[in-house]
Amino acid sequence: MKLYIMKREALEMLKANLPTIYGKYYTEKTNHWISDIYGENPFIEFNDVPEFNLAELNSDLTPGEIDLNNCKILYEKLLFLSESQASDERLWAGLTHSTFYDYMRKRWGYGYGKKPKSAEKEAGAIQTRFFYRYTGRSGLYRNTLSKCWWVGHNTYDPNNNQNHFENLDIIGSNDLNSKINEFFYNFSFSSNPDVMTAIIDALRQFKKDGRHILVREHIRPAMSYLNAVGGSVVIDCLEKDEITRIFSDAVDAIMQGDIPTLNFEKNISVEEEDTDYSVNEDIGAVDPSDVPKVTLGCKVIICNRDGETKTYKYDLINGTLPKAVEVFTDCKVGDVIEMMGKEWKVEDLIF
């Protein structure tokens, strides 16, 4: 099986023209139309691997079970990828438009019964699923194939010879997209494997005790609490057992109707499991003028050249906008602002 990356020029050309070419994803059973539009072969051969198939779509599997299986398949079959290679949009755009083009069309119903919506909505959905909508973590965990590789990467245990993906099985397929959003996208500290292992240890104990915890009711506020703790101490420096205890205690408190001491704003809601949680149907996301601006209620994710990442809630407190977040007014993704004597780039907005 040959794997291809997409040429940068072809990638940019397709993304720029999605509002006018999105119909091709519905009408064309093969990817030959890309060469016709681009004028030459848009792909470069990247690697040759043993043949493999992604999770069966024509089955009784739920969307969450399909994605969970694909997390295992893609990471195990593409285990050789470096983090740098797996961060490259050209790789995933190449795979979604070549080797797995028909699979992607079936997965999202293009040409298989799904009815097109407005050009703006279709362009936004296709950009998210087949390309990277924005840079950084947003692209990694929202592209249909990329998110599966990265979730597999962050849960794979090479030392567990009985089941390398036991951690992923503990997370489970139920409401998987919401869990991906909470565990891997919203909070950068979870990219530390020790932190993620500590959280999964807590989930394992809850499962062993027969206690059913839900994403919106328990996991989301507990992760926010852990993030708030990170404002006082460096999470990465805590012992694994201590992180497990903090997370477990937060969930226990929430279950009992208590509010953890360091309560933090709840995260955004995500789409239901049978849709792509990453697609905000109200944003076209192709024309630069359509890139969303900071607005009340959204979260602003910023990063600097030192690799530091911070998240701010842009909202009123007691009817007043805090001075600390006024700097984000009218900012868009990609804008650079100055805070705390450093330059910070607006990496993403979460609505």
Cα gap 127→139, rounded to integer Å: 10
Spell out the long-range contacts of 195-201 with Cβ–Cβ below 8 A and sequence spacing 24 or more: 195/235, 195/236, 195/243, 196/154, 196/155, 196/167, 197/167, 197/240, 198/240, 198/241, 198/243, 198/244, 198/247, 199/226, 199/243, 199/244, 199/247, 200/155, 200/167, 200/170, 200/171, 201/240, 201/244
- Residue 159, both tokens: 């030392």
Predicted confidence at residue 274, as pLDDT, reads 39
Predicted confidence at residue 6, as pLDDT, reads 98
- Residue 165, both tokens: 């993906």
Strand partners, 336: 345
Cα gap 291→340, rounded to integer Å: 26
Q: Classify residue 61 by burial, with Cβ atoms within 10 Å: 0-12, 13-18, 19+.
A: middle
Low-confidence spans in the chain with pLDDT less than 70:
230-233, 259-293, 295-298, 316, 318-321, 351
Order of strands across the sheet that contains 342-350: 309-314, 298-303, 342-350, 336-339
Q: Where are the domains of the chain?
A: 1-157, 292-350
Query: For the chain, first and last CA: distance in Å?
Result: 39
- Residue 118, both tokens: 């407005």
Q: Which CATH architecture has domain 292-350?
A: Roll (3.10)
- Which DSSP string do the residues of 277-313 spell out, in sequence order? TT--TT---SSGGGSPBP-TTEEEEEE-TT--EEEEE
Cα gap 202→220, rounded to integer Å: 14
User: What H or E segment, with its residue span, contains residue 140?
Assistant: helix 137-140
Predicted confidence at residue 119, as pLDDT, reads 76
Give ∠ CA 236-241-244 in degrees, rounded to 5.
80
Predicted confidence at residue 3, as pLDDT, reads 96
Cα gap 118→21, rounded to integer Å: 12
The answer to whether 150 touches 140, Cβ cutoff 8 Å, is: yes
The answer to whether 111 touches 105, Cβ cutoff 8 Å, is: yes
The answer to whether 282 touches 292, Cβ cutoff 8 Å, is: no
- Residue 218, both tokens: 């328990």
